[in-house]
């Protein structure tokens, strides 16, 4: 398809609204000094960063988004680290790794294709390549700053536009605009550019660390509004970011992602609730996302900056320095790997039981073994068990962000599976 200009396509919407909310004058809200793991290393704090205040360069994109390339001359070190994300070619096929998923996702796109993300540099490439259907543009919500700006400029009607038509207009993968607007971090400012975040949380945004909100704009549980197809968050305050409260929200509005044909159950598919999981745990009181995933670097000329090659602390020794403040000299890599191993083992155990329950329920429906009232009770338990299992499974830290919540979700799912099986076996 020939690439069209933004103005030629988005004239369908006459409503423009701006959803920018500046979150902070300094990236993150805590003055953490990382304790060096090696003798002789210099301790760095984000207070060592001298933030610039410069005029934004002329945007080279057709929609007015100032791109990373536009900012490269002003922020050469940061720009270079963004390029390092291209090195991440590794993916995991979850359907091969956990075969039970194909059964419990029966009738939904994730039963056809479910692979791990490769990182920000591949967001557009991967969303185009997925075998999951994407008829509407809302699948681009967190894949590119151009889509975010399109929504900010034209309104929520953009979400229901044709995927291929809008995809052809996208210039850049996740980049500066997503977290900084067109000011790209002037004065250390972070910006909530996604309108659904400001709509859902409003004044509660002020109580969440800006660096966490910045990442959490996309690393969240969300759903598409059945009428507008707008990306939406299933709560209206930080206190409601629990899996039980989110489930209650979906139940109240009668929402489901799909109806499973073999069971007749109204099913939910969790997305990737990293921010919710993190905020419900102990880490959020002392750390934010940048502390653990954006290394502080000092160049030979004295420049101190956050790396924008987002990494796991387990893959970067410098990032582990944020852990020793509370965990002391413990071998953090082994410690976290053990947590992740335990959570993964438990996920497989519960996931296989959930698949077994799905088969039992499908058989009961097929053979008309239960009256409608009992059948609905089992369907409800199955929906709930699936939700709590999925909430843990799709949260990408495998228990590292909040091991207590991960265990609680899996135990809740397991309990509901047992309750449903008892009804089916009665």
Q: What is the mean pLDDT of residues 383-412?
A: 97
pLDDT of 194-247, one tens digit each? 989 988 998 888 788 989 999 999 999 999 999 999 999 999 988 899 999 999
Residue 7 predicted with pLDDT over 50: no
Length of the chain: 426
Stated as kind and residue range, the H or E segment containing 191 is: strand 190-192
pTM, two decimal places: 0.89
Torsion on CA atoms 64, 65, 68, 69, rounded to nearest 10: -20
Query: Would you state the pLDDT for residue 18?
Result: 41
Round the average pLDDT of the chain to a whole number and report it.
87
Under the banding of pLDDT at 50, 70 and 90, the label for residue 317 is confident
Which of residues 22 and 222 earns the better pLDDT score? 222
Q: Which residues of 341-366 are buried (b: 16+ CB within 10 A; e: fewer)?
A: eebbebbeebbebbbebbebbbebbe
Reported confidence tier of residue 16, pLDDT bands at 50, 70, 90: very low
| 163 has pLDDT over 50 | yes
Residue 2 pLDDT: 29
Q: Residue 14 — very low, low, confident or very high, per pLDDT cuts 50/70/90?
A: very low
Q: Which segment of 38-52, 270-284, 307-321 scores lowest on mean pLDDT?
A: 38-52
Q: At what angle do helices 403-425 and 372-393 cross, to 10 degrees?
A: 160
Average pLDDT value for residue range 17-32: 45
User: Strand, helix or coil at 266?
Assistant: strand
Query: pLDDT for 101-117, tens place per residue?
Result: 999 999 999 999 999 88
* pLDDT value, residue 22: 55
- What is the spatial distance between Cα 272 and Cα 311, in angstroms, rounded to a whole number? 17
pLDDT value at 289 more than 70: yes
Can you tell me whether residue 253 is helix, strand or coil?
A: helix
The confidence score (pLDDT) of residue 26 equals: 38
């Amino acid at each position: 398809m020939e690439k069209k200009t933004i103005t030629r396509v988005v004239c369908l919407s006459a409503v423009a609204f701006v959803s920018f909310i500046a979150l902070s004058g300094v990236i993150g809200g805590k003055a953490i000094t990382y304790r060096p793991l090696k003798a002789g290393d210099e301790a760095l704090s984000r207070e060592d960063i001298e933030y610039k205040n410069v005029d934004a360069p002329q945007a080279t994109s057709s929609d007015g988004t100032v791109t990373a390339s536009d900012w490269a001359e002003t922020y050469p070190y940061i720009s270079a680290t963004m390029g390092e994300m291209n090195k991440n070619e590794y993916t995991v096929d979850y359907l091969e790794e956990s075969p039970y998923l194909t059964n419990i996702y029966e009738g939904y796109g994730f039963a056809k294709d479910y692979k791990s993300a490769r990182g920000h540099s591949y967001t557009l490439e991967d969303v185009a390549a997925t075998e999951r259907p994407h008829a509407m543009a809302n699948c681009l919500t967190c894949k590119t700053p151009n889509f975010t700006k399109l929504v900010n400029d034209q309104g929520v009607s953009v979400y229901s536009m044709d995927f291929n038509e809008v995809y052809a207009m996208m210039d850049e993968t996740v980049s500066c605009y997503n977290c900084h607007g067109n000011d790209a971090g002037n004065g250390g400012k972070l910006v909530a550019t996604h309108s659904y975040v400001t709509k859902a949380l409003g004044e509660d945004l002020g109580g969440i660390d800006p660096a966490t909100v910045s990442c959490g704009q996309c690393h969240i549980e969300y759903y598409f509004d059945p009428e507008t197809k707008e990306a939406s968050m299933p709560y209206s305050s930080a206190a409601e970011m629990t899996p039980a409260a989110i489930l209650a929200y979906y139940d109240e509005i009668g929402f489901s992602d799909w109806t499973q044909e073999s069971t007749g159950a109204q099913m939910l598919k969790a997305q990737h609730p990293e921010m919710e999981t993190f905020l419900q745990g102990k880490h959020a009181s002392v750390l934010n996302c940048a502390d653990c995933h954006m290394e502080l670097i000092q160049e030979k000329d004295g420049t101190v900056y956050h790396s924008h090659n987002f990494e796991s602390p387990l893959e970067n020794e410098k990032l582990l320095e944020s852990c020793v403040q509370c965990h002391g000299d413990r071998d953090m890599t082994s410690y976290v790997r053990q947590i992740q191993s335990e959570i993964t083992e438990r996920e497989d155990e519960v996931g296989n039981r959930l698949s077994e329950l799905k088969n039992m329920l499908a058989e009961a429906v097929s053979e008309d073994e239960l009256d409608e009232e009992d059948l609905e009770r089992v369907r409800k338990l199955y929906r709930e068990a699936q939700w709590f299992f999925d909430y843990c499974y799709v949260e990408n830290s495998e228990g590292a962000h909040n091991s207590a919540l991960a265990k609680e979700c899996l135990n809740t799912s397991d309990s509901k599976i047992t309750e449903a099986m008892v009804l089916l076996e009665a």
